[in-house]
């Protein structure tokens, strides 16, 4: 069991010095417990997280800089900028895209942590999107098939 401890994770540090490279995005874990997990993310222009479903957790994004475009549950894309909070409930379909022309940074968190930590460990520096999709399914994150051409 991983419990939350009191304290401050400074801007320059992460959990155990870890930095993940997930398909061109940089994820820096800021805390981890059984009940929740957070990470700072840097998304260069043109990067994205394809539409997917978390079957075991709610996910949130607090945008710090730049702009993200969200596709959620089949609705028209929505834009989120600095100070905006994105809420993505468990079992809802969501995709995250940086189409802004500039880098975006944000704070993500999930509740509960479930298997997401193990997923990020498994897909760190995996360059093949198909392999990331395959691995994600093993950790309760299901990517949707790409749209028909």
Chain centre to alpha carbon of residue 22: 9
Quickly count: other Cβ atoms within 10 Å of residue 138's Cβ: 11
Per-residue pLDDT of the chain (149 residues; tens, 9 = 90+): 789 999 999 999 999 999 999 999 999 999 999 999 999 999 999 999 999 999 999 999 999 999 999 999 999 999 999 999 999 999 999 999 999 999 999 999 999 999 999 999 999 999 988 899 999 999 999 998 766 55
Is residue 37 domain-resident? yes
pTM assigned to the model: 0.93
Question: Which tokens hold the place of 61?
Answer: 């994004």
Structural domains in the chain (count): 1
- The range of the structural domain enclosing residue 84 comes to 17-143
3-state secondary structure of 138: helix
Whole-number Å distance between alpha carbons of 141 and 138:
8
Is residue 1 domain-resident? no
Q: Which helix (H) or strand (E) holds 123?
A: helix 116-123
The CATH number of the domain where 74 resides is what?
2.60.120.10
CA-nearest of 20, 67, 70 to 40 is 20
Is residue 100 domain-resident? yes
């Amino acid at each position: 069991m991983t419990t939350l401890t009191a304290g401050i994770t400074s801007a320059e540090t992460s959990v155990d010095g870890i930095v993940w490279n997930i398909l061109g995005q940089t994820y820096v874990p800021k805390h981890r417990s059984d009940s929740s997990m957070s990470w700072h993310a840097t998304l260069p222009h043109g990067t994205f997280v394809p539409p997917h479903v978390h079957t075991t957790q709610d996910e949130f994004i607090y945008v710090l800089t730049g702009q993200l475009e969200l596709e959620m549950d089949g609705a028209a894309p929505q834009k989120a900028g600095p100070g905006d909070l994105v809420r993505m409930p468990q079992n809802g379909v969501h995709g995250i895209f940086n189409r802004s022309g500039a880098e975006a940074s944000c704070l993500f968190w999930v509740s509960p942590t479930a298997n997401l930590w193990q997923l990020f460990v498994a897909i760190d520096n995996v360059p093949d999107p198909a392999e990331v999709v395959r691995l994600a399914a093993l950790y309760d994150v299901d990517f949707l098939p790409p749209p028909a051409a």
